[in-house]
């Protein structure tokens, strides 16, 4: 619940000096954190969730924790100099609401998305779903005066809009009160997703081009289909995946139990099937841990049978977001996958009554979380863990537990397992 009380911030990760960046150095590098906020404190919000209710609609939208009053006395969030180009790293750090971001009278050139270089398309506005991050270039090519950067809620019955001031150096004149309008409907957002493309010739983490990894030519070894549902357990709201709502109230942390070889005492592997049941009569509440074989190339399908917008994040990995479509997924839908230049990223959204497909190699050993980025859904069970074990107990795959690690639960007093070598 830290985000509800302003516990967020930006973390810049730049390319190494030996790796070329596919655009000129900007005049400055700005971080723009947008998101919804609630007037209630984090303790009150927790009580709402613990009572088995969702958080409801947000009370407002912020930009870097601030909202412009529009009285002519607002200090600028950012300053630009005419003729120069600036980089803005935009992240949605809110609890549950997708945000549309746009710059008054300025275009945005998309250059990065969650660790990947993208094809540099220009946009008047961008839908940033919860947990997502984009980097854009904005050129100061307008008359030197004030302009608004605008953030509006998306897919909500009542639209909430907030603004921040961008001031031209030595500029004169206030920002126009005529704000650029937001897009309408979720079909627009789906179409925008389909314009995002991986830059195959650019380098990212390594000197070799991104496109040298031919993910579309790898054979799929396992398909996991995850369908989200909502229902009541003991009179309280719970969210589930394949009929099971993740129980986070375990005595011993999952990875700790696994490392000390007492996993069977704490949880079961593969507590949900790879395919959701045709109909969920009742929701079970228990820990969900999928056991996935190291280095297997896996297809994960997220199915949204509800009318709410979804956003999912996978920790410890990036994946290829190869498709989002309406309706129900079937194997025949693979012919519509983008197997050439889908963006490698960490989050993916889903629209009402739709599905999304991602592809990835599970080559990072550990215990990793797949979760809804919509906070009330995550808190009330719409998440799971993936266990990827090192077959050789090798430090090339996973480090040993630190000597000063604080132990808890049922592992206190147990002898340390044989170290990885």
Domain of 331, CATH number, reads: 2.60.40.420
Of 160, 195, 230, the last residue of a domain is: 195
pLDDT at 162: 97
What are the b/e assignments for 77-106, b being 16+ CB within 10 Å?
bbebeeeebbbbbbbbbbbbbbbbbbbbbb
Residue 56 has pLDDT above 90, yes or no: yes
Within this chain, do residues 30 and 147 fall inside the same structural domain, yes or no?
A: yes
User: Residue 143: its pLDDT value, please?
Assistant: 97
Domain membership flag for residue 201: no
Which residue range forms the structural domain that includes residue 290?
214-411
Residues 34 and 76 placed together within one structural domain of the fold? yes
The span from the CA of 412 to the CA of 406, in Å, is: 9
Residues present in the chain in total:
421
How would you classify the pairing of strands 161-168 and 78-80? Answer: parallel
> How many Å apart are CA 415 and CA 417, to the nearest integer?
6
What's the pLDDT tens digit per position in 202-235? 998 788 999 999 999 999 999 999 999 999 999 9
274 and 328 inside one domain: yes
Kindly tell me if the per-residue pLDDT of 1 is higher than 80: no
Q: At CA 36, angle to CA 35 and CA 37, rounded to 5?
A: 120
Residue 176 within a domain: yes
Task: Tell me what the mean pLDDT of segment 261-274 comes to.
Answer: 95
Return the structure tokens found at 178. 């005529």
Span 93-98, mean pLDDT? 97
pLDDT tens digits for range 156-174:
999 999 999 999 999 989 9
12 pLDDT higher than 90: no
Q: Are residues 66 and 140 in the same domain?
A: yes
Q: Strand 344-345: give its sheet, edge to edge.
A: 284-285, 244-245, 236-241, 222-233, 297-304, 354-361, 319-326, 344-345
**Could you tell me which residues are beta bridge partners of residue 106?**
103
Confidence of residue 17 (pLDDT cuts 50, 70, 90): confident
User: Average pLDDT for residues 229-258, to the nearest whole number?
Assistant: 95
Percent share of the chain, pLDDT over 90: 87
Six token digits for residue 332: 């025949």
Helix (H, G, I), strand (E, B) or coil at 215: helix
Q: Are residues 245 and 162 in the same domain?
A: no
Q: 292-347, pLDDT tens digit by residue?
A: 999 999 999 999 999 999 999 999 999 999 999 999 999 999 999 999 999 999 99
Instruction: Look up residue 50 and give its DSSP letter.
Output: H
The answer to whether position 259 is within a domain reads: yes
Mean pLDDT of 240-260: 95
Chain-centroid distance, C-alpha 384: 15
Residue 5: what pLDDT?
Answer: 72
Q: Do residues 104 and 71 both lie within one domain?
A: yes
pLDDT at 364: 95
d(CA 90, CA 78): 13
Write down the pLDDT at residue 18. Answer: 85
Query: Of 350, 359, 362, whose CA–CA distance to 324 is shortest?
Result: 350
Residue whose C-alpha is closest to residue 193's, from 128, 107, 116: 128
Tokens 């080559």 found at = 363
Question: Same domain for 254 and 106?
Answer: no
Provide mean pLDDT across the span 119-136: 98
Residues 7, 131, single domain; the answer is: yes
Q: Are residues 166 and 256 in the same domain?
A: no
Residues 121 and 267 in one domain: no
Q: Which domain-ending residue is among 195, 230, 260?
A: 195
Contact at 8 Å (CB) between 85 and 27?
A: yes
pLDDT at 294: 97
Say whether both 150 and 220 belong to one domain: no
Confidence of residue 280 (pLDDT cuts 50, 70, 90): confident
Q: Is residue 206 part of a domain?
A: no
C-beta of residue 321 within 8 angstroms of C-beta of residue 342: yes
CA 74 to chain centre: 31
Q: Supply the pLDDT for residue 6.
A: 77
DSSP string, 139-205: E--S-SSEEEEEEEE-S-SS--EEEEEEEETT--SPPPS-PPPPP-SHHHHHHHHHH--B-TTSBSS
The 10 Å Cβ neighbour count of residue 220 is: 11
The pLDDT of residue 354 is 98
- Give residue 279's pLDDT: 84
User: Rounded to 5 degrees, what are φ and ψ at 320?
Assistant: -95, 115
Cα 350 off chain centre by: 12
> Is 269 part of a structural domain of the chain?
yes
Structural domain includes residue 317: yes
**Average predicted confidence (pLDDT) for the chain:** 95
- Taking only Cα atoms into account, the Rg of the chain, rounded to an integer number of angstroms, comes to 23
* 207 domain residue, yes or no: no
For the beta carbon of residue 121, count every other beta carbon within 10 angstroms: 13
Tokens read off for 301: 């399908």
pTM: 0.96
Tell whether 277 and 152 lie within a shared domain: no
The encoded tokens of residue 381 equal: 């069970």
Tokens at residue 280, please? 């969920």
What is the percent of the chain with per-residue pLDDT over 70, rounded to a whole number?
100
Q: Which of 195, 227, 246 is the last residue of a domain?
A: 195
Q: How far is CA 410 from the centre of its chain?
A: 33
| Tokens matching residue 161 | 């809009």
Per-residue confidence (pLDDT) for residue 178, from 0 to 100: 96
Paired strand residues for 129: none
Tell me the sheet residues that pair with 76: none
Predicted confidence (pLDDT) at residue 64 exceeds the cutoff of 80: yes
Q: Identify whether 203 is part of a domain.
A: no
Number of domains in the chain: 2
Q: Looking at the predicted structure, is the pLDDT value of residue 237 above 80?
A: yes
- Per-residue pLDDT averaged across 369-382, rounded? 98
């Amino acid at each position: 619940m830290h985000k509800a009380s302003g516990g967020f911030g930006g973390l810049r990760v730049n390319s190494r000096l030996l790796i070329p960046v596919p655009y000129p150095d900007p005049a400055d590098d700005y971080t723009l954190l947008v998101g919804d906020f609630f007037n209630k404190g984090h303790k009150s919000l927790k009580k709402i969730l613990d009572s088995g209710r969702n958080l409801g609609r947000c009370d407002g939208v912020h930009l870097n924790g601030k909202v412009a009053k529009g009285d002519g006395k607002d200090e600028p969030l950012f300053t630009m100099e005419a003729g120069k180009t600036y980089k803005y790293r935009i992240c949605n750090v809110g609890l549950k609401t997708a945000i549309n971001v746009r710059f008054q009278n300025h275009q945005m050139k998309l250059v990065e998305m969650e660790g990947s270089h993208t094809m540099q398309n220009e946009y008047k506005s961008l839908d940033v779903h919860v947990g997502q991050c984009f980097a854009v270039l904005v050129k100061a090519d307008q008359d030197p005066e004030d302009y608004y950067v605008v953030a509006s809620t998306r897919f909500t019955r009542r639209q909430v809009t907030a603004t921040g001031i961008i001031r031209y150096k030595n500029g004169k004149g206030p920002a126009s009160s005529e704000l650029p309008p937001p897009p309408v409907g979720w079909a627009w957002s789906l179409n925008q997703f389909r314009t995002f493309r991986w830059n195959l010739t650019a380098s990212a983490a390594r000197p070799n081009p991104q496109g040298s990894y031919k993910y579309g030519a790898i054979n799929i070894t396992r398909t996991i289909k995850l369908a989200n549902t909502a229902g009541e357990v003991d009179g309280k709201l719970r969210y589930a995946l394949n009929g099971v709502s993740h129980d986070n109230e375990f005595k011993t942390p999952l990875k700790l139990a696994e490392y000390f070889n007492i996993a069977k005492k704490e949880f079961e592997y593969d507590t949900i099937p790879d395919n959701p049941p045709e109909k969920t009569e009742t929701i079970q509440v228990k820990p969900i841990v999928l056991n996935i074989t190291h280095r297997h190339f896996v297809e994960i399908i997220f199915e949204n049978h509800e009318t709410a917008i979804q956003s999912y994040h996978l920790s410890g990995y990036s994946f290829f977001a190869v498709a989002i479509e309406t309706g129900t997924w079937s194997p025949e839908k693979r012919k519509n996958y983008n197997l050439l230049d889908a963006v490698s990223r960490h989050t993916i959204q889903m629209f009402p009554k739709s599905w999304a497909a991602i592809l990835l190699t599970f080559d990072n050993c550990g215990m990793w979380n797949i979760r809804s980025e919509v906070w009330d859904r995550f808190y009330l069970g719409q998440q799971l863990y993936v266990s990827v074990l090192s077959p050789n107990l090798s430090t090339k795959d996973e480090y040993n537990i630190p000597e000063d690690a604080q132990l808890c639960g049922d592992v206190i007093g147990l002898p340390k397992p044989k170290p990885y070598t």
